[in-house]
Amino acid sequence: MLTILTVEDRENSLWRKHPMAMLPVNSLKVRKGSIMNVPVRHLRYICRNGRIGGKRICRRAKEGRENLLNFSRVKVPSPKITMFSPALYRGRMSINMAVACLQAMHSTARHIKVGLYDKSGDYAPVCEAFLELVGKFTVVTDNTELYEAEARRLMWEKGAAPFVSRRINSLSSCSLIIAPSAVETAFSPEAEAVLLTSSPPSVGIPCRVYSRYTVKLPEIEKEWEEYVTDGELIAAGLYTLAGVYNLGSLVPLMCHSERDSQTYVSLGRHLEEHFSK
C-alpha cells in the first residue's frame, strides 16, 4: 500500500492578533482507495494554525511512514517519518528522455557524443540502444569488468562498442551525459552540454543540468486528480514501491532544471544547434 500526504494551509492569521484567542485546531482526514489497482492510503492534513503535527501524521501513516509520498513538499517535524525519494525512477526517466531526444534528432544524432555515468554498473543493458543512435558512446563506471564484457559482446554482435573508462573526465568531451544516479565528482563539460540525472550533482558541473521530469500516468482515477498533482512522484511510488514496472517505459513530457524546462524535441534542437556541426 502507498501512503500519500497532502497538506492544506487554511490558516487565518487574525487569531494571532488576539492573545486570548484559542489556537485553531488542525484536522487529519484519512481515506483509502486505489490508483492503477494499487491500494493507497491518503492522509489529508488541514493546517489552521501554522503548525504541522508530525506525531499525529506518523501515527496515522502506520507502516507508510517509512516511505511517505509528500505531495505538499512541506517538512513534517517527526524523526520517525522518512519521505519517499523518487531518485530511482528519475534515473530511469533520464535514460528514456535521452533516447527519445536522440531518436527525434534522426540522422544528426550521429554527430552527438553521448556519455553514461554509471558508477556501480546497473545500466549496462542500455548500451545497445545508445550505440544504435550515436557515433560515439562513452561509459564511466567503477564496474569496468561488467561493461568491458558488454563492449566485447556488442562488438561481436553489432560491430560497435562503447568506450569504457574509470575516469570521470572522459565525460568532459560529451555533449549529452546521462547519470541515472547522482554525480559526486566534478568534471568540466562544455557550458551548453546537457546532463540528465536523477538529482542535482553534489559538486558543481558547469553545464545544463536537468534532474526533474514531468510524466503523465496512462490512467488515474478521477477522484485522485485534485490531490495527486505531481505525476512524477506518484509514478515513482508506483514503480519503486508497488512494482508497476510498465511505468518505467514512459517518456517524460518535459525535463526541468533550475533555469528552464525542455521537451525531448526542444532538447534535441538545442544539441543540434550547438554540437551537430
Q: Among 159, 143, 161, 141, which residue's Cα sits nearest to residue 151?
A: 161
Interhelix angle 231-242/87-105, nearest 10 degrees: 110
pLDDT at res. 208: 96
Q: What is the pLDDT of residue 225?
A: 79
> Which residues, at least 6 apart from 126, have a Cβ–Cβ distance to it below 8 Å?
95, 99, 116
In a domain, 109, yes or no: yes
What Å distances lie between residue 236 and 18, 33, 139, 226, CA to CA? 45, 18, 26, 18
Give yes or no: residues 66 and 13 share one domain. yes
Judge if 150 and 257 occupy the same domain.
yes
Confirm whether 58 is domain-assigned.
yes
- What nine digits make up the cell of 38? 494499487
The parent domain of residue 258 ranges over 87-215+250-275
Confidence of residue 148 (pLDDT cuts 50, 70, 90): very high
Considering the chain, what percentage of its residues have pLDDT values greater than 90?
72
- Quick one: pLDDT at residue 126? 95
Residues 92, 137, single domain; the answer is yes
Do both 57 and 131 map to the same domain? no
CATH number of the domain residue 119 falls in: 3.40.50
Per-residue pLDDT at 19? 54
Coil, helix or strand for 154? helix
Q: Where are the alpha helices (DSSP H) in 201-255?
A: 231-242
62/115 same-domain check: no
Domain count, the chain: 2
pLDDT at 168: 96
Tens of pLDDT, residues 209-233? 999 999 998 877 777 877 787 899 9
Q: Rounded mean pLDDT of 251-258?
A: 95
What pLDDT score does 139 carry? 97
Q: For residues 133 and 266, state if they share a domain.
A: yes
Q: How far is CA 220 from the centre of its chain?
A: 20
Do both 63 and 168 map to the same domain? Answer: no
| Lowest model confidence (mean pLDDT) among 19-23, 141-145, 236-240 | 19-23
- pTM exceeds 0.85 for this model: yes
How much is the average pLDDT of 52-76? 89
In a domain, 190, yes or no: yes
Q: How confident is the model at residue 11 (pLDDT cuts 50, 70, 90)?
A: low
In a domain, 22, yes or no: yes
pLDDT at 47: 84
Q: What pLDDT is recorded for position 18? A: 53
Co-location of 198 and 101 in the same domain: yes
Q: Do 128 and 265 fall within a single domain?
A: yes
Q: 96-100, long-range: CB within 8 Å, 24+ apart, which pairs?
A: 96/249, 96/250, 96/251, 96/252, 97/196, 97/210, 97/213, 97/251, 97/252, 97/255, 97/264, 97/267, 98/130, 98/176, 98/178, 98/196, 99/126, 99/129, 99/130, 99/133, 100/251, 100/252, 100/264
Tens digits of residue pLDDT in 188-217: 999 999 999 999 999 999 999 999 999 998
What grid cell was written down for 27? 484536522
Mean pLDDT, the chain, rounded, equals: 90
